[in-house]
Amino acid sequence: MRVEIWSDIACPWCYVGKARFEKALAAFPHRDDVEVVHRSFELDPGRAKGDAGPVIPMLAKKYGMSEAQAQAAEDNVGAQAAAEGLEYRNRGRDHGNTFDMHRLLHFAKEQGRQDQLVQIFYRANFAEERSVFTEGDERLVELAVEAGLDADAARKVLADPDAYAADVRADEREAAQLGASGVPFFVLDRKYGVSGAQPAEVFAQALAQAWGERSPLTLIDQGQGDADACGPDGCAVPQH
């Protein structure tokens, strides 16, 4: 079974929602048969690389609230993160463009290190004082290395803005096609969706339901029967 998680590193509910999903997954009897894939979704794709700003004034402006109210909202997210056992630095967090992080996450997928890197990016963005947006490529390279990736390879990905860009864009197009307008957005076997940082119980139910309804493929052959194919024992010898 495959679970695809659309999310953004800049999205606090994605950080919290992933922990809730993982709690449900850890208790799921068939967890070893569940493949989890990260999918890209940018909350702020129009922002320029390196352009970052503090979160509180941005929230205040966006919602027409005072900075004190915005801080209270951020404190509340922090409390919910803490309830999931996650570190959350609810003072001084900044926000910015995450495109390069998504490109690196696709590179990490190729290397079998995607889940490690997602978690490291979240922790760096939400729990550490240093910015992931303003310290240039080397900050991301450092985090990539922590996830087990090669520094030079990560550097090369970052230096080439086209590297893995098509993957990020494809994920974003798919999110729109699947009806996801916000994240986190969880898709189970392309059949069930879970939108938002739902409680772990909802993820548990979704996993059980999707697992119970796994269906084998329906083969279409229009009465032609076995067609010409090759397998480990060789290729069909044409009868035509």
Residue 85 or 181: the one with the smaller Cβ distance to its own copies is 181
Q: How far is the CB of 55 from its own copies (least distance, A)?
A: 10
Residue placing its CB nearer to its own copies in the complex, 68 or 79: 79
Question: Measured between alpha carbons, how far is 132 from 94 in angstroms, rounded to an integer?
Answer: 9
The closest of 107, 111, 110, 109 to 157, measured between CA atoms, is: 107
**CB-nearer residue toward its own copies: 128 or 160:** 160
Least distance in angstroms from the C-beta of 183 to its own copies: 6
Q: Using an 8 Å Cβ cutoff, are 71 and 57 in contact?
A: no
Q: Would you tell me how many other CB atoms lie within 10 Å of the CB of residue 31?
A: 14
Regarding 159 and contact with its own copies (CB under 8 A), the answer is no
192 lies in the site for its own copies, by CB under 8 A: yes
Q: Which of residues 42-61 bind its own copies (CB under 8 A)?
A: 43-44, 59
Establish how many alpha carbons lie within 13 A of residue 101's alpha carbon, considering only the half-sphere containing its beta carbon: 39
Compute the distance between CA of residue 34 and CA of residue 29 in angstroms, rounded to an integer: 10
**Choice from 110, 128, 135, 138 touching its own copies (CB under 8 A):** 110
Residue 167 interacts with its own copies (CB under 8 A)? yes
Site string for its own copies, 69-108 (x = CB under 8 A): ----x--xx-xx-------------------------xx-
66 binds its own copies (CB under 8 A): no
Closest distance between its own copies and the C-beta of residue 187, in Å?
Answer: 6
Q: How far apart are CA 62 and CA 58, in angstroms?
A: 6
Residue 32 lies near its own copies (rule: CB under 8 A): no
- For residue 17, state whether it binds its own copies (rule: CB under 8 A): yes
Q: Does 25 bind its own copies (CB under 8 A)?
A: no
Q: Is 221 in the site for its own copies (CB under 8 A)?
A: yes
Kindly provide the b/e burial profile for residues 196-230, where b requires at least 16 CB atoms within 10 angstroms of the residue's own CB: ebbebebbbebbeebbeeeeeeeeeeeeeeeeeee
Tokens representing residue 138 in the block: 């080397």
